[in-house]
Amino acid sequence: CLIHFYKRYSTAAEMPGSPGHAEDYQARLYLLLSQLQKMAGEIPAKFQQRIPYELLSSLAASLAQGQILEIVKMLTEVQQATEKHLFQQSPEAEDGEAGDDCQELSSS
C-alpha cells in the first residue's frame, strides 16, 4: 500500500547532493504531507483524533526520503523468496507423507 502511495504521489527522486535536490525534497514533502492529511480526513472521525499532525509529518518525511519504500521493497523480496521456497517444499512434503502411508499399508 505504501509503495503504491509513494509511486503515485512522489516525483522522480534525485541523488542527494545534486542541484535542486533540496527543493525537490521539500516539494515531495509538502505533496506527501497534503496527501496524507487528505487520506486521514477520509477515515472515521473517532480514528482521526489518534493521528496527530506530527505523525503525518514524520511519515511524509520518511516517504520523501525513500527510507520506507526501500524497507518495504526489501521485505517484499524476502516474503516472495520465502513463499517460493515454501511452495517448492510443499510437493516434497506431500510426496514424503504419501510414501509413509504406503509403507504403513504394506507392513500391515
- CA-CA distances (angstroms) from residue 89 to 41, 48, 77, 78, 101? 45, 45, 18, 16, 19
Name the average pLDDT for the chain.
76
**Greater confidence, 43 or 107?**
43
Confidence (pLDDT) at 90? 79
For 65-89, how does the pLDDT look when each residue is reduced to its tens digit (9 = 90+)? Answer: 887 778 888 899 999 999 999 999 8
Given a cut of 80, whether residue 5 has pLDDT beyond it is no
